[in-house]
A and B are shown apart, each in its own frame.
Chain A
């Protein structure tokens, strides 16, 4: 366990040092989205009988936790492999690669959790639209872990910074716009809707809003995220054992 603790301790030492810059950077995009879509475009819009603000806040939390967790893990792994070579120091240490995978995914998820915390504090100051339940917390946590695990795998697979940017453009950015962050997915054409239902962020966004879902549907959303997490974790750990 001291190996896992070492990985987390290292991440925390770096986080501590960049605390202010990190915190501010985590808030910039969510604030811009809230201003542009919440107050700007959405001021006269109602969705499912509620204000657009009440609709968009959970979406922004889903999207921000996805991006923060993914980006932190993917870029840390990728840069440490390709540029700083610090990855090699872990490779030669007597740390089991599964423990390493776990440590890096937890650390990345922590960044996502921290960004969610900041957004919640921010929106709580001037709106009561956001209702936080234990289920909400569970889904937000799972979302952070799923995208941190995806970031880990992609950070290992991709061999250049430009390819990393391409992955974000082709996968992460489309997900943030299509998976029900800014508008309900019922407005999508049916064929596309089926595909969108397969994506993890869709389930996060629906589950975070929790408008009249049955218990079965609630379990399904959490189950999809857990399944994604398990598959991505296993792929990441397996790849980590043979990466050069």
Chain B
């Protein structure tokens, strides 16, 4: 579905994305996980044609993308990190304009708008101006808008950033429903749980480079399924073990505050970079 080949973006001295290679399969829910400034948004912006690439290639369904190639743009749906809804228009009007821009015939457009409002649970608020919406509702409407023209690939840039815990849970439910519909999705996030809950495969990205790419389970197994966390010399240390027995054995040799827990993607990231994702 999506093939990224040696994709690079340089801004003067800074290399935001450094020779990135990855392939996303049809129907896959793929996550790019990394801290702020890792190059996730730049990657998404290059795929959505907003930011020109410095070198490399992005191929969607066998076609290289280009800003002025309108045919390929209709295959992509984008939910940017920042709200870009038209504030002075209602939810319905925002969707209507989007449908027109994507050249959807009127009947199909109207039917799809109803369907998407239903899917994102916004039918009751369809005539309200979007400037009066909460952060979570705006994000849901942006997802409805991105899906309206039935794209083959959906790009979600940090879909839950800035949402409170309950809105985030609701967003995850919505994204899980999307996943069960079999849409190909590229999601970027710096929330560990989000990547674990939603993604079939995860690419760990830091400083523009792809560090590891695998299923969340495989990545965790590679590091060690069990983590022993202990406090010494004024800071928290983590050690990783393939089994609980080995972890118990090691923990027994330690003094003070010791915690044994299942490993997560944060631990994987920490192991490869010595840095945390959610910091």
Q: Is the interface of B mostly helix, strand, loop or mixed?
A: loop
Question: What are 27 A-B contacts with C-beta separation under 8 Å?
Answer: A2-B103, A2-B104, A3-B100, A5-B100, A10-B97, A13-B89, A14-B88, A14-B89, A17-B89, A84-B86, A85-B80, A85-B84, A88-B84, A89-B98, A91-B67, A92-B48, A92-B50, A93-B98, A93-B102, A94-B73, A94-B102, A95-B70, A95-B101, A96-B68, A241-B67, A244-B50, A244-B51
Q: Which of A201-244 contact B (CB under 8 A)?
A: 241-242, 244
**Bound state CA distance, A90 and B82, in angstroms?**
15
Task: Tell me whether B84 and A86 are in contact (CB under 8 A).
Answer: yes
B215 contacts partner chain A, Cβ-Cβ < 8 Å: no
Task: Tell me whether A18 and B73 are in contact (CB under 8 A).
Answer: no
Contact mask for chain B residues 159-175; partner A; CB cutoff 8 A; 1 contact, 0 none: 00000000000000000
User: Can you name the residue of chain A whose Cβ is closest to the Cβ of B84?
Assistant: A85
User: Can you name the residue of chain A whose Cβ is closest to the Cβ of B74?
Assistant: A94
Task: Tell me whether B86 and A14 are in contact (CB under 8 A).
Answer: yes
B54 contacts partner chain A, Cβ-Cβ < 8 Å: no
A97 contacts partner chain B, Cβ-Cβ < 8 Å: yes
Which residues from chain A sit less than 8 Å from chain B, CB to CB? 2-3, 5-7, 9-10, 13-14, 17-18, 84-86, 88-97, 241-242, 244
User: Can you name the residue of chain B whose Cβ is closest to the Cβ of A86?
Assistant: B84
CB-CB under 8 A for A94 and B71, given A3-B100, A10-B97: yes
Q: Which of B71-106 contact A (CB under 8 A)?
A: 71, 73-74, 76, 78, 80, 82-89, 93, 96-104
Task: Tell me whether A86 and B85 are in contact (CB under 8 A).
Answer: yes
Task: Tell me whether B78 and A92 are in contact (CB under 8 A).
Answer: yes
Contacts of A3 in B (CB 8 A): 100-101, 103
CB-CB under 8 A for A6 and B97, given A14-B89, A244-B50: yes
B49 contacts partner chain A, Cβ-Cβ < 8 Å: yes
6 tightest A-B CB contacts, nearest first: A6-B100, A94-B70, A85-B84, A93-B101, A94-B73, A10-B97
Task: Tell me whether B52 and A244 are in contact (CB under 8 A).
Answer: yes
Output the residue of A13, A90, A93, A244 with the most chain B CB within 10 A: A93
Expressed in whole angstroms, the minimum distance between the Cβ of A79 and any Cβ of chain B is 11
**Bound state CA distance, A9 and B101, in angstroms?**
10
Task: Tell me whether B82 and A92 are in contact (CB under 8 A).
Answer: no
Task: Tell me whether B49 and A91 are in contact (CB under 8 A).
Answer: yes
**Bound state CA distance, A6 and B84, in angstroms?**
17
Which residues from chain B sit less than 8 Å from chain A, CB to CB? 48-52, 67-68, 70-71, 73-74, 76, 78, 80, 82-89, 93, 96-104
Output the residue of A3, A14, A94 with the most chain B CB within 10 A: A94
Task: Tell me whether B87 and A84 are in contact (CB under 8 A).
Answer: yes
Task: Tell me whether A88 and B85 are in contact (CB under 8 A).
Answer: no
CB-CB under 8 A for A9 and B100, given A14-B88, A89-B84: yes
Contacts of B96 in A (CB 8 A): 9
User: Can you name the residue of chain A whose Cβ is closest to the Cβ of B97?
Assistant: A10
Task: Tell me whether B73 and A93 are in contact (CB under 8 A).
Answer: yes
**Bound state CA distance, A182 and B93, in angstroms?**
43
Output the residue of B49, B76, B83, B102 with the most chain A CB within 10 A: B102
**Bound state CA distance, A94 and B88, in angstroms?**
23
Contacts of B74 in A (CB 8 A): 94
Expressed in whole angstroms, the minimum distance between the Cβ of B121 and any Cβ of chain A is 22
Task: Tell me whether A90 and B101 are in contact (CB under 8 A).
Answer: yes
Task: Tell me whether B93 and A13 are in contact (CB under 8 A).
Answer: yes
Task: Tell me whether A97 and B52 are in contact (CB under 8 A).
Answer: no
Contacts of B80 in A (CB 8 A): 85, 88
Expressed in whole angstroms, the minimum distance between the Cβ of A243 and any Cβ of chain B is 10
CB-CB under 8 A for A88 and B50, given A13-B93, A18-B88, A94-B71: yes
**Bound state CA distance, A10 and B89, in angstroms?**
8
User: Can you name the residue of chain B whose Cβ is closest to the Cβ of A14?
Assistant: B88
Task: Tell me whether A86 and B101 are in contact (CB under 8 A).
Answer: no
Task: Tell me whether B50 and A6 are in contact (CB under 8 A).
Answer: no
User: Can you name the residue of chain B whose Cβ is closest to the Cβ of A17?
Assistant: B88
Expressed in whole angstroms, the minimum distance between the Cβ of A133 and any Cβ of chain B is 37
Expressed in whole angstroms, the minimum distance between the Cβ of B174 and any Cβ of chain A is 20
